[in-house]
Amino acid sequence: MKNFADRLIEVIQEKGSPIAVGLDPQLQYIPQEIKDKAFKDHGQGFKGASWAILEFNRKVLDVVSPYTGVVKLQVAFYELLGPWGMEAYRKTITYAQKKGLVTIGDIKRGDVEHTALAYAQAHLGEVKLDKTTLQGYGTDSVTLNPYLGGDSIAPFLKVAEEKDKGLFILVKTTNPSSRDFQDLSASDGERFFEKVAKKVGQWGKGLIGKNGYSSVGAVVGAQYPRTASRLRHLIPRAFFLVPGYGAQGAGARGLDAYFNTDGYGAIISSSRSIIFAYLYPPCKGKTVDWEEAVRQAVVKMHSEVAETAERAKRRSSHRL
Amino acid sequence: MKNFADRLIEVIQEKGSPIAVGLDPQLQYIPQEIKDKAFKDHGQGFKGASWAILEFNRKVLDVVSPYTGVVKLQVAFYELLGPWGMEAYRKTITYAQKKGLVTIGDIKRGDVEHTALAYAQAHLGEVKLDKTTLQGYGTDSVTLNPYLGGDSIAPFLKVAEEKDKGLFILVKTTNPSSRDFQDLSASDGERFFEKVAKKVGQWGKGLIGKNGYSSVGAVVGAQYPRTASRLRHLIPRAFFLVPGYGAQGAGARGLDAYFNTDGYGAIISSSRSIIFAYLYPPCKGKTVDWEEAVRQAVVKMHSEVAETAERAKRRSSHRL
C-alpha cells in the first residue's frame, strides 16, 4: 500500500480534478423506478429501502467514476435504514473501491480511547473475533470529531499508520451554528477551531507522504475563504476536505484559498447537487434523465474545480 | 408517554438508586461458553459474534434489572460487528425495554442539520420509507457531541419533544485528553465546556418535566467533583449522565456534587466493572460464577450510589 495522501494525489492526477462526490442517498429523492424494483424484490421494509440506495449508488458510481477519484459516504443515511442500511454501506464501499476510487466514510465519530479503537477497527481496520479476524467496513479514510481531544484520535492514528488509511478531523464545519463553539475566541485570541487545526498538524506529523502531505487532514467548509487562507498557513501539510460546494451554497469562486500553490491540498466535495442533480437547476423541472443530470453536474464541477486548482498554481507564479 | 426526565426519576425511585449499567459487550471478555454456543449455532463470523453479545446482554439484563432502572449501550461495540452487530444493538434495546428499563444509546453523534435529522430518526424516532413508516433503533435517549453547535442538536430536540425522548450532550468527558479542547479558557475566562453547558441549559428549556428536570441532560465525567459543583450551579435542571465510576477510576466519594439537594439530577454509570466484574477485584482470580460477580458488583454500586444521593439530600438539610 501507499501513504493515503499520496494515493489522494494520484487519483486527483488521474481524474484531472480534486473533487469528491458525496453518496448521501436520501430515499425520498431516489428515482421511483429504482425504488419500485427494490421494494418489489426485497419487500417494503428496511431491506428493500437498502437495496434501493445500493442500486442507486452503483448507478451513480458508474456515471461519476470517470470524473472523480474520491467518493464520500455520509453514514447517517445508511444508519437510518438499520442493519440492512449498513450492509448497503459496506457494499457501496466495495463497489467504489473496485472502480479504483478512494472512499471517505463521513462518520464524524469521537469517543474515549478504548471505544475509539472499536470505531477505528470497525471502519478502517480489522475486527478480531474468537477464531477469525475479519475486515471491517474498510473505507480508505474517515471523518472524526475532535471534541474529546488527542486520546480519542490516537487509535485512529494507529490504524491509519498500520493500514495506510486517512483521517479528516472536523475543524470548521459548513453549518451556521458552527459559530456556536468553533468560532469562540480563546483567552490568547485564537479561535477554537484554530486550536483544533494546530492539533491536526501535530497529529499528522508522523504520516507525511512523499508529496509532503499528511494522511491526517481537516474538514473546512467551502463558505470560509478567509478562514481557509489562515488555516492553509497554519497547517500547510493537511489535506482539506471541503464540503459545501453546490447544494450547501458555495460555488468554486473563493476556493483558491483552500489550495496550496502546488495546486494540491484540497478535495472539494459535493453531494446532493450532484447525485440528485435532476432536482436542482439547470435540470430542475426539465425532462432530463436522472443519470444524464448526474453526468452533466459532475462534469461541470470537475471543470470548475480543476480551474480553481490551476488558478491556485498561477497565484504562485504571480507571486514569484 | 411521559417527559423523559420524569420517567428517569420514576425508575430511580422504583429501583432505589440512580445508577446506569453500561452494556459495552467487548467480545474478548465475554465468557467462553456463551461464545462457543453462539459461534456453533451462527458461524464463526460477525453473525456468531453478534449472537454472543446479544445472549450475554440478555443474561446481564436478567441479573441487573432488579437493581438498575437505566442501561446505557455503547454503540461502538455493536457497530464493530457490522450489520449483525447493529441487529444485536436493536434486539438488546427491545429486551431492556420489555424489562421496563430506560435505555441510553451512547452514540455521541453530531452532524449538520439535515444529516442530524437522519440520525435522530434512526435512533429515537421513525423512519419514513416509500409506503411505510418504521421505528428506528428506538432507544429512549442518546448522547450527542456538541462541536457543531445548535443546529446539529435541533433535529434531536424536535424528535425528543415529539416522542418524549431524552438527550445527553457531552460537556466534560472522562478521558485525560478532554483537557485538550474542553478545558480551554475563552476570552471571557469561562472554559469551553462551560460554554457548552450554558447552551445545554438553553436547549433544554422547552422540555422540562413536572419534577423540574429537563429531558436535555449533560455528560459529565465522574472524576471532576469541583467541575460538577460549578456545572450543577450553572444548569440545575439538567440531568447529569456520569460515566467513569468503577473501571475508569472514580468511586462514589466526591459524587455528592453531581446531585442537586433533592437527591436527583445525576445518573451514575458503570460498564466494564459491572458486566465484566469477574475480571475485576474482588472477584478477579477467584472461581466466582460470572453472573454472580455481576450481581455482587451491581448490588455494591446500587448501595454506594444510593447513599451518595441520600448524602446530597442531607447536605441540603445541613444548609437549612
Model confidence pLDDT, tens digit, residues B87-145:
999 999 999 999 999 999 999 999 999 999 999 999 999 999 999 999 999 999 999 99
Between A and B, how many residue pairs show a Cβ–Cβ distance under 8 A? 222
User: Given this model, what pLDDT does residue A320 score?
Assistant: 43
d(CA B76, CA B73): 9
Which pLDDT score, from 0 to 100, does residue A253 have?
74
Cβ-contact A107, B118 below 8 angstroms: no
Q: What is the pLDDT of residues A83-97, one digit of tens each?
A: 999 999 999 999 999
Question: According to the model, what pLDDT value does residue B320 have?
Answer: 43
Where b means 16+ CB within 10 Å and e means fewer, A34-50 reads bbeebbeebeebbbbbb
Q: Is B189 on the interface with A (CB under 8 A)?
A: yes
How do residues B229-253 score in pLDDT, each as one tens digit?
999 999 999 999 999 887 655 667 7
Looking at this protein, which amino acid is placed at residue A74? Answer: Q
Sign of CA dihedral A125, A127, A132, A135: negative
Mean pLDDT of A267-276: 96
The DSSP output letter for A242 is E
**Is A118:B76 a contact under the CB 8 Å cutoff?**
yes
pLDDT at B247: 61
DSSP helix/strand/coil, A103: strand
Q: b/e string for A199-208 if b means 16 or more Cβ within 10 A?
A: bbbebbeebb
- Per residue in A280-291, pLDDT (tens digit) is 888 888 888 999
Q: What is the number of alpha carbons within 13 Å of residue A226 lying toward its C-beta?
A: 0
* pLDDT over 60 (residue A318): no
3-state secondary structure chain B: CCCHHHHHHHHHHHHCCCEEEEECCCHHHCCHHHHHHHHHHHCCCHHHHHHHHHHHHHHHHHHHCCCCCEEEEECHHHHCCHHHHHHHHHHHHHHHHHCCCEEEEEEEECCCHHHHHHHHHHHCCEEECCCCEEECCCCCEEEECCCCCHHHHHHHHHHHHHHCCEEEEEEECCCCCHHHHCCCEECCCCEHHHHHHHHHHHHCHHHECCCCCEEEEEEECCCCHHHHHHHHHHCCCEEEEECCECCCCECCCCHHHHCCCCCCCEEEEECHHHHCHHHCCCCCCCCCCHHHHHHHHHHHHHHHHHHHHHHHHHHHHHHC
Neighbouring residues of A145: CB distance < 8 A, sequence distance ≥ 6: A108, A109, A110, A169, A170, B108, B110, B145, B147
Q: What is the mean pLDDT of residues B254-258?
A: 92
Residue B263 has pLDDT above 70, yes or no: yes
Q: How far is A95 from chain B (nearest CA, A)?
A: 17
Q: Taking a contact as any Cβ pair under 8 Å apart, which residues of chain B between 14 and 43 contact chain A?
A: 24, 26-28, 35, 39
Please tell me the least confidently modeled range out of A238-252, B71-85, B157-171.
A238-252
Task: Provide, as residue numbers in chain B, all residues whose Cβ is less than 8 Å from the Cβ of A223.
Answer: none
| Residue B316 resides in a domain | no
Amino acid code (one letter) for A13: Q
Classify residue B187: in a domain, yes or no: yes
pLDDT in tens, B268-310: 999 999 999 999 888 888 888 999 999 999 999 999 999 999 9
The total of other beta-carbon atoms located within 10 Å of residue A247's CB is 20
Which residues from B are below 8 Å from A279, CB to CB?
A: none
Distance of CA A32 to the CA centre of its chain: 27
- Asked if residue B320 belongs to a domain, the reply is no
Number of domains in chain A: 1
- Examine residue B319 and state whether it is found in any structural domain, yes or no: no
Chain B residues in contact with A24 by the CB 8 A cut-off are 115
Cell numbers found for residue A201: 498538524
Q: Grid coordinates in use for A261?
A: 500553490
Q: Is A15 a catalytic residue?
A: no
| B195 in contact with chain A, both atoms CB, cutoff 8 A | yes
* B64 has pLDDT over 70: yes
Average pLDDT rounded to a whole number, residues B14-22: 98
Q: What is the pLDDT of residue B318?
A: 53
The per-residue pLDDT for range A110-160, each reduced to its tens digit, is: 999 999 999 999 999 999 999 999 999 999 999 999 999 999 999 999 999
Distance CA A166, CA A123 (A): 11
Mean pLDDT, chain B, whole residue set: 95
Gap from A96 CA to chain B (nearest CA, Å): 19
C-alpha distance from B14 to closest chain A C-alpha (Å) = 31
B212 has pLDDT over 50: yes
* Range B210-234 average pLDDT: 96
Rounded to an integer, the average pLDDT of B160-182 is 97
How confident is residue A249, by pLDDT bands cut at 50, 70 and 90? low
B78 backbone dihedrals φ, ψ, rounded to 5°: -95, -45
Check: complex ipTM more than 0.85: yes
State the pLDDT confidence band at A1, using cuts at 50, 70 and 90: confident
Cβ distance A149 to B187 less than 8 Å, yes or no, reads no
Q: Looking at residue A283, what is its pLDDT?
A: 86
Q: Is residue B208 part of a domain?
A: yes
User: In a mutagenesis test of the A interface, which of B132, B170, B175 is the best target, namely the one with the most A β-carbons within 10 Å?
Assistant: B175
Position A319 pLDDT exceeds 60: no
Give the CATH number, domain containing residue A259.
3.20.20.70
* pLDDT confidence of residue B316: 65
Domain limits for position A148? 4-319
pLDDT given at position B282: 87
How confident is residue B315, by pLDDT bands cut at 50, 70 and 90? confident
Q: Do A27 and B149 touch (CB under 8 A)?
A: no
pLDDT for A252 equals 73
Nearest Cα of chain A lies from the Cα of B193 at a distance, in angstroms, of 10
The predicted pLDDT at position B246 comes to 78
Find chain B residues with C-beta within 8 A of A42's C-beta: none
- The shortest CB-CB distance from B184 to any of A108, A170, A192 is to A192
Helix then strand then coil, in percent of chain A rounded to 5, is: 50, 20, 30
Q: Which grid coordinates belong to B141?
A: 435517549
